[in-house]
């Protein structure tokens, strides 16, 4: 009889169970305390968002959601709509996969490609500093720079811990226009990159890469809704920086030129140029102060 109770339900047990449920009192919920708790959570989230006004650590996922979920959900959707072929040449598990492609059936010989673009930047869960430095190098290669412009990407040994938000890594890119006469150019334009790895976002978000041009305060974004789609505006900033520096160095060279007419200078000012080793020095004296400039020889 005891074994049968494991397979058959006694009606008396059902009655006793229902009586126990009726006698069981559900604790009342303190709605005011719950509302206050939710209000505190919302207020804390709002404070974090306001503190990150530049959206460096808190931002929308430009990929929508996790790559694998995107892959399988879109696959399932297009299978229902008649998609019969998928591009299997790209491994969705690979972090280097920047798109997901599907081929829709067509009555013609050519098939229509349905492609979903993904951000090329590493995900937070897969973040490796050397890999993102390499991605920055590839990102700069997409810029339409002036002819003869060369650049080098330098990874800085500097990590900044941002309390509550995450970590920030630093990278610099140096641009110049070397010539056969001056292979080591005097003027170098610098672009400062920041790699922001958030501790608050899900691990399937890409890292946020921002950059600034030397002597300019504007910050630009390499991904997401704040990214400028054009690849030409970078040339303006880089060429402007190089032009300003070369113009300044040209004035220094005029300062050391003994053939320059002195009538063009103010009577209250005197300048004298001299060289020591591989450097030129220019001493500019006025009635109130004096300034010393120097530059390296390029020949």
Q: Is the pLDDT of residue 290 over 80?
A: no
What residue spans define the domains of the chain?
Answer: 13-70+118-250, 71-117, 256-296
pLDDT averaged over the chain?
A: 76
Q: In this structure, are strands 279-285 and 189-198 parallel, antiparallel, or unpaired?
A: unpaired
pLDDT at 82: 60
Burial of 139 (0-12, 13-18, 19+ CB in 10 A): buried
Q: Is the pLDDT of residue 181 over 60?
A: yes
* Dist. CA 152–CA 141, nearest whole Å: 11
pLDDT at 113: 44
pLDDT at 42: 93
* Dist. CA 253–CA 282, nearest whole Å: 8
**What is the mean pLDDT of the segment spanning 221-232?**
93
pLDDT at 29: 82
Per DSSP, which regions of 186-287 are E strands?
A: 189-198, 208-213, 219-221, 270-276, 279-285
- Per-residue pLDDT tens digits for 123-171: 999 999 999 999 999 999 999 999 999 999 999 999 999 999 999 999 9
- Give alpha helix (H) positions in 123-268: 129-141, 233-255
pLDDT at 256: 60
Q: pLDDT: is 283 or 161 the higher one?
A: 161
Confidence of residue 250 (pLDDT cuts 50, 70, 90): confident
pLDDT at 39: 94
Q: Is the pLDDT of residue 92 over 50?
A: no
Minimum mean pLDDT range among 23-32, 47-56, 247-256, 272-281? 272-281
Place of tokens 């490609």: 113
Q: Is the pLDDT of residue 8 over 70?
A: no
- Per-residue pLDDT tens digits for 9-59: 565 566 666 767 777 777 788 888 889 999 999 999 999 999 999 999 999
pLDDT at 247: 83
* Dist. CA 70–CA 237, nearest whole Å: 37
Minimum mean pLDDT range among 91-95, 121-125, 148-152, 241-245? 91-95
Encode burial over 26-46: b for 16+ CB neighbours within 10 A, e otherwise: eeeeeeeeeeeeeeeeeeeee
Question: Whose CA is closest to 176, among 154, 149, 152?
Answer: 149
pLDDT at 109: 39
């Amino acid at each position: 009889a005891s074994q049968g109770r494991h397979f058959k339900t006694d009606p008396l047990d059902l009655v006793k169970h229902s009586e126990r449920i009726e006698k069981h009192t559900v604790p009342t919920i303190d709605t005011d305390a719950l509302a206050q708790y939710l209000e505190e959570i919302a207020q804390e989230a709002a404070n974090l968002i306001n503190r990150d006004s530049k959206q460096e650590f808190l931002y929308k996922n430009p990929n929508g959601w996790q790559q694998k979920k995107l892959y399988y959900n879109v696959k399932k959707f297009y299978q229902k709509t008649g998609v019969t072929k998928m591009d299997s040449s790209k491994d969705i598990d690979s972090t280097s996969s920047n798109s997901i492609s599907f081929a829709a059936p067509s009555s013609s010989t050519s098939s229509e490609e349905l492609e979903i673009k993904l951000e090329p930047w590493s995900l937070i869960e897969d973040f490796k500093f050397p890999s993102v430095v390499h991605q920055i190098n590839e990102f700069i290669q997409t810029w339409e720079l002036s002819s003869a412009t060369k650049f080098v990407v330098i990874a800085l040994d500097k990590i900044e811990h941002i309390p509550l938000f995450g970590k920030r890594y630093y990278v610099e890119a140096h641009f110049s226009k070397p010539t056969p006469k001056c292979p080591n150019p005097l003027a170098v334009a610098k672009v400062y990159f920041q790699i922001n790895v958030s501790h608050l976002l899900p691990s399937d978000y890409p890292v946020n890469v921002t950059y600034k041009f030397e002597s300019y305060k504007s910050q630009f974004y390499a991904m997401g809704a704040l990214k400028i789609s054009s690849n030409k505006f970078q040339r303006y900033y880089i060429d402007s920086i190089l032009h300003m520096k070369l113009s300044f160095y040209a004035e220094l060279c005029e300062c050391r030129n003994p053939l320059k007419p002195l009538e063009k200078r103010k009577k209250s000012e005197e300048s004298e140029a001299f060289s020591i080793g591989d450097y030129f020095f220019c001493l500019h004296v006025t009635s109130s102060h004096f300034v010393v400039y120097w530059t390296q020889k390029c020949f």
